């Protein structure tokens, strides 16, 4: 594995972790709503990171 591949994996893991924390803080009562909020948060974070070319894919 190259350094760039490891960086992409680490950034992806951090994005998933942060989006899951945000999703849990917003909607922690219902599992379905929680998963939807987490997915939407993940999409928003990935779009922003891709727009600013932080992710090296």
Q: What is the pLDDT of residue 27?
A: 74
Q: What is the pLDDT of residue 54?
A: 66
Contacts of 56 (CB under 8 A, 6+ apart): 4, 7, 8
Domain extent for 9: 3-51
Question: What is the total count of domains within the chain?
Answer: 1
Helices (H), the chain: 3-26, 31-51
Indicate whether 57 belongs to any domain.
Answer: no
Q: What is the pLDDT of residue 43?
A: 85
CA distance 14 to 37: 17
Those residues of the chain that have pLDDT short of 50 are none
Indicate whether 37 belongs to any domain.
Answer: yes
Q: What is the pLDDT of residue 19?
A: 86
Indicate whether 56 belongs to any domain.
Answer: no
């Amino acid at each position: 594995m190259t350094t760039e591949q490891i960086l992409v994996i680490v950034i992806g893991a951090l994005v998933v972790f942060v989006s899951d924390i945000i999703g849990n803080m917003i909607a922690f009562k219902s599992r379905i709503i929680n998963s939807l909020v987490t997915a939407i948060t993940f999409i928003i974070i990935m779009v922003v990171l891709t727009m600013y070319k932080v992710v090296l894919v």
